Chains A and B, each alone.
Chain A
Amino acid sequence: MSAFSWDSFIAMGGYAAYVWPAYAVFFIVLIADYVSPTLRRRRDLRELRARMARQSARQQRPPSAS
Chain B
Amino acid sequence: MANWIPLWVHKLSSPPNFYRFAGTLRPWALGLALLLGAIALYGGLVLAPADYQQGDAYRIIFIHVPCAWMGLFVYGVMAIASFISLVWRIKLAEVVAMESAPIGAAFTFITLCTGSLWGKPMWGTWWTWDARLTSELVLLFLYLGVIGLYHSFEDRRQGARAAAFLAIIGIINVPIVHFSVNWWNTLHQGSTVRLLGPSKMSGDMLWPLLTMMAATKFYYIASLFGRVRTDLLSLESGKDWVRQIAEAQGHAAAKQEGRR
Contact = CB atoms under 8 A, between A and B. Distances in A.
Interface in A1-57: 1, 4, 9, 12-15, 18-19, 21-23, 25-26, 29-30, 32-34, 37-38, 40-41, 44-45, 48-49, 52
A14 to B, nearest CB: 7
Nearest to B249: A45
A52 B121 contact: no
Contacts of B109: 29
Contacts of A40: 230, 234
B57 A33 contact: no
B246 A49 contact: yes
B45 interface: yes
A54 B230 CA distance: 23
A44 B56 contact: no
B103 A22 contact: no
Nearest to B54: A15
A29 B103 CA distance: 10
In the complex, which range does the number of interface residues on chain A fall in? Answer: 20 to 34
A26 B59 contact: no
Interface of B is mostly: helix
Nearest to B219: A30
Interface residues of B, number: 44
Interface in B181-240: 219, 222-223, 226-227, 229-231, 233-234, 237
B32 interface: no
Given A18-B117, A34-B226, A25 B110 contact: yes
A19 B59 contact: yes
Given A13-B55, A18-B121, A44-B234, 13 more contacts: A1-B49, A15-B57, A15-B121, A19-B57, A19-B59, A21-B117, A22-B63, A22-B113, A30-B110, A37-B223, A45-B233, A48-B246, A52-B243
23 contacts: A4-B46, A9-B45, A18-B118, A18-B121, A19-B59, A21-B117, A22-B64, A22-B114, A23-B63, A25-B113, A30-B219, A34-B222, A34-B226, A37-B230, A41-B230, A44-B234, A45-B233, A48-B233, A48-B237, A48-B246, A49-B247, A52-B243, A52-B246
Interface of B: 30, 45-47, 49-50, 55-57, 59-60, 63-64, 67, 99, 102-103, 106, 109-110, 113-114, 117-118, 120-121, 219, 222-223, 226-227, 229-231, 233-234, 237, 242-243, 245-247, 249-250
Interface of A: 1, 4, 9, 12-15, 18-19, 21-23, 25-26, 29-30, 32-34, 37-38, 40-41, 44-45, 48-49, 52
